[in-house]
Amino acid sequence: MDWYSSIFELIDMRSFSNLWYWIALATLWSTASHWVLGVPYDMVLRARRVGGQAETDLEDITRVNVNRLLYIGRVSGLWILAMVSFVLSGLLVLAIWYRVEFAQAMFLLAFPMTIVGALSLSTAKLIESEGGTGDLLQKRLGRQRLYTQMIGTVSIFVTAVWGMYQNITIGVLGG
């Protein structure tokens, strides 16, 4: 038996039984809920508590990130939508029709993040149209974070259920 076979027997390389996949899933959603529209959420909390310069800093960084998101959406939004649709439908076909576990795992990461991305773009448009400052801006960013966490919770639940199903099915049926 060569070392390559020994390593792959020791470490299960399937997606849903791999610890690294679950660490990546947790890190993805933790990061997504902390960085709301590219703004670290601790800045929102600090602006709410302290006000003054912290609030000005929050408004500035939010303005920069909102303008950046909207510029990307206006300039290349259609191309990004086409590429994301192509990748997601490719993953979905591989996941459902061909039962590729890696495609299932990637789809369960990418699809909910696409929803969060669309929601972020929508929130950025709202902030721009309202001229979001002060309490209204903090409220919008807080609501965006809450929605991201809700999507993340549902996504983690669905991924865990599907992953357990896959592991049980492969474990019982042997592949």
Q: Give 1-26 pLDDT, tens digit per residue.
A: 577 776 665 555 578 888 899 999 99
Q: Flag whether 50 is in a domain.
A: yes
- The pair of three-digit structure tokens given for residue 137, joined into one six-digit string: 């801006």
Q: What is the mean pLDDT of the chain?
A: 92
Question: Does this model's pTM top 0.85?
Answer: yes
Domain holding 129, by residue range, is: 15-169
Task: State residue 13's pLDDT score.
Answer: 58
Q: Flag whether 175 is in a domain.
A: no
Q: Flag whether 142 is in a domain.
A: yes
Q: Flag whether 7 is in a domain.
A: no
Alpha helices in the chain (DSSP H): 3-10, 19-34, 41-50, 53-96, 101-130, 134-173
Q: Flag whether 162 is in a domain.
A: yes
Q: Flag whether 3 is in a domain.
A: no
Cβ neighbours for 35, distance < 8 A, ≥ 6 positions apart = 41
Alpha carbon dihedral 77, 97, 24, 8, in 10-degree steps, equals -140
Reported residue count of the chain is 175
Q: Flag whether 1 is in a domain.
A: no
Number of domains in the chain: 1
- Kindly report, residue by residue over 34-77, the tens digit of the pLDDT: 999 999 999 999 999 998 999 999 999 999 999 999 999 999 99
Q: Flag whether 22 is in a domain.
A: yes
3-state secondary structure of 18: coil
